[in-house]
Structure 1
């Protein structure tokens, strides 16, 4: 907590409103929120089915896939940005073909910001949802299957509603992680105002030119992140593995 105390102590509270209302800050915040929201949607679409697969013990190579999913957690974000650039850059493994065949350039665009955020934030959602699935009571799903329900129906109407708190918790973690992403973004997407300059990049630039504004933006990010986590607190606790309780009526 000491670094946060130091940050709050250095905050120019009297000028906070004016510093945050600066058009450049508003634009960076808007881009950060929009890209983080898009990242969360992409991670939900990709991550929830992936977590469901990893939660099954009969999937061949599940441990290997889980290890690969967690690599971005230990990989320096800037290395992830370099890897994305070598994959989707104009001379990259896939990027050269996208440019030659379709004229599509991914790096240094808002799409690149989303992809960089997805790379670093997806493991948070997958691991959280997988833990919720493993900790969920599977008896209802088994009963539904014995009554003739298809696997897709069981997943949609039984399994997912039971782990909704875990999915919400994973989405919250994914959103806040995407909101604060810096290394992969600056390497793969660049730092262009209105296109790729999110709040973390704006903070980095302001540290030399306008330190007070950098502190104000840092506090703004802190407030948004804490607000998201506080709003999801009940769902987070409910979605933790091992937190499920068996009611008397289910025994």
Structure 2
């Protein structure tokens, strides 16, 4: 994914409430969230180029999401970041105890893993960093966790307002926030070494450029046993593609 806001152990209704957008090149093939035939404990969308996922859930076991860390001139690495959520859900107990060298073959990433009673943030952007997350509201894009990037703050505020309103049968306010193309003023945008024009193009929650943009908007609502619902809205070249995909988790 490329922008996420989530509430971890923050409300009586949900153990985890997460919203986010996956941005990707339009030409890169992927399929919508479903239970995987080769790993039936996993429910996730799937990147058909490398076989991994950006957001994955395993009922009773956990959930995981990954974003890339924006770098001016990306360096090639042999392993796909999309394999990280799969690795975590295969063996949640051992994943985060592995040595930092296990992550050196991935390009810089932010990873969030949710297991019963614990949420952990992991990044290899500079050196491997892992920390347990406190209950509450968090946000993440292509910088560090809770960095004040305008688009991730917008999603955090929208999620907070939705939880406070208590109308949990209506997720359209969340999709409206995910679909926002509002970009902050230049002075508020991050400087990630790609130039101000590109920062502007990537500065809103919903991205639309000729070759790259938001492909999937996701809403994940789970109880403390990691059962609930995943609702996806697909897009192609900035236009909504098909009806919503709603997958029951449990």
TM-score, normalised relative to structure 2: 0.27
TM-score, normalised relative to structure 1: 0.27
- Structure with higher Rg: it is 1
Q: Which has the higher contact order (CA 8 A, sep 6+)?
A: 1
